[in-house]
Amino acid sequence: MFDKFSDQARELSTLARDNGSGKTSVLDALRYVQRLMRGEHVEAIFNENSLTTWDKRREQTIGFSLLINEEVYKYELKIEYPSQKYKQHIKREELIWKDSPFFLYDGQEAYLYRINWNT
């Protein structure tokens, strides 16, 4: 399973690994998050076909870290696939900035945290 990916952005970056190592999965995950951020509905993006065939879990997690201007941002998204078709939903979404929660959706409520620059 391909579960870690690290790259330094350059003018030209390549992603080269063995067949079946997860190159397409990395790009798919980034595209899924991009579509979600653009306002597409969860059910249109994450369908039964996006689950790993051999893994029987009904939950999918996408996570990544970005280094922007020497600051680390960590993002994690969990999608739950109930047994009913077309009822997939966001179970949890979180953005960590400066090692502190910045945004959290816990499946029911959304929280936006204030970063106190004095501490």
Asked, for residue 17, whether it belongs to a domain, the answer is no
H helices of the chain, where?
Answer: 23-37, 42-45
Which residue do the tokens 């941002």 mark? 73
User: Which tens digit of pLDDT belongs to each residue from 17-58?
Assistant: 888 777 888 888 888 889 998 999 998 888 877 777 777 788
Domain containing 46 equals 23-112
What the block records as the tokens of 33 is 């998050």
Q: How far apart are CA 52 and CA 15, in angstroms?
A: 21
Ordered strands of the 71-80 beta sheet = 59-68, 71-80, 89-97, 100-105, 110-112
Asked, for residue 119, whether it belongs to a domain, the answer is no
Mean pLDDT of 101-111: 95
Label residues 10-27 b or e (16+ Cβ within 10 Å = b): eeeeeeeeeeeebbebbe
Asked, for residue 29, whether it belongs to a domain, the answer is yes
Whether the predicted pLDDT of 119 surpasses 50: no
User: Which tens digit of pLDDT belongs to each residue from 75-104?
Assistant: 999 999 988 777 899 999 999 998 999 999
Asked, for residue 16, whether it belongs to a domain, the answer is no
Number of domains making up the chain? 1
Asked, for residue 59, whether it belongs to a domain, the answer is yes
Asked, for residue 69, whether it belongs to a domain, the answer is yes
Asked, for residue 78, whether it belongs to a domain, the answer is yes
Q: Are 42 and 60 in contact (CB under 8 A)?
A: no
Asked, for residue 54, whether it belongs to a domain, the answer is yes
Q: Are 24 and 5 in contact (CB under 8 A)?
A: no
